[in-house]
Amino acid sequence: MKVSEKSLELNVGAELLDLMRNSWGMPKAYLRGLTQAEENQEGVDFFAELDPNARIFAFQFKAPHGKTDLQPYKYTLVRYQHDPLFQLSQQSPRGVFYVFPYYVTVTKLQKDVPTLMLDTWFLNVAQMPSSQLFGSSQSRTIRCMSGNAVVNPEYKLERLRDVSFNREDAVPAQRFVEWYGSFREVRSRLERRRNPWLARGLRVAVVL
């Protein structure tokens, strides 16, 4: 049975939060989604009302394609999702990441729980200019094996178990609020075209 993207977000997110709170010195960190339902209830004011000293990490979760747990694991990157993430990363080069869990089947997930961090990998968005990554294409398949992600060019991955963040790596609250305002405008235009990709799998870690 294939693992759903939502299951990967929930389980990897739980381990990520534990690391942030108990290993990386951010005890008040919490994860939040950017879903349309939440926006309808609270809107962008939630972010605008953050303490100015708050910091934000952005994690774009991806689920692998296929039916079996064999390397390379393949994921789809989409240009109009990547563009705003790359923009956000430019002032905080360690603040925005793709998250690639190497889990296709429930069997492997059940075997590795509660340490999915052993085979979940991070890709730093700041090193991936859209023109270099996509060329004239609107989407690309990225192939991941151990610590390498190949999409022409090749990028280095960091395993969640081995990575470490600190508060100063994250995006300042005011910068995030400004970015999120433009993100919502782009998202609204795309959602009128019934686009499912822009905010799918995007989670932010708020560090107070």
pLDDT score of 45: 57
Instruction: Tell me if 204 is assigned to some domain.
Output: no
Instruction: Tell me if 37 is assigned to some domain.
Output: no
Mean pLDDT, the chain, rounded, equals 88
Instruction: Tell me if 179 is assigned to some domain.
Output: no
Instruction: Tell me if 107 is assigned to some domain.
Output: yes
Tens-digit pLDDT profile for residues 34-58: 655 554 544 455 666 778 899 999 9
Instruction: Tell me if 159 is assigned to some domain.
Output: yes
β-pair partners for 74: 143
C-alpha span between 80 and 178 (Å, rounded) = 18
Instruction: Tell me if 185 is assigned to some domain.
Output: no
pLDDT top residue among 190 and 17: 17
What would the mean pLDDT of 17-44 be, rounded to a whole number? 78
Tens-digit pLDDT profile for residues 100-125: 999 999 999 999 999 999 999 999 99
Q: Which domain holds residue 92?
A: 5-32+57-173
C-alpha span between 62 and 82 (Å, rounded) = 12
Contact 143, 45 (CB under 8 A): no
- pLDDT at residue 193 tops 80: no
Q: pLDDT confidence of 1, banded at 50, 70, 90?
A: confident
pLDDT score of 42: 47
Tens-digit pLDDT profile for residues 146-184: 899 999 889 999 999 999 999 999 999 989 888 887 776
Instruction: Tell me if 48 is assigned to some domain.
Output: no
Tens-digit pLDDT profile for residues 135-149: 999 999 999 998 999
- pLDDT at residue 10 tops 50: yes
Tens-digit pLDDT profile for residues 76-103: 999 989 999 999 999 899 999 999 999 9
What would the mean pLDDT of 4-25 be, rounded to a whole number? 95
Instruction: Tell me if 96 is assigned to some domain.
Output: yes
Domain count, the chain: 1
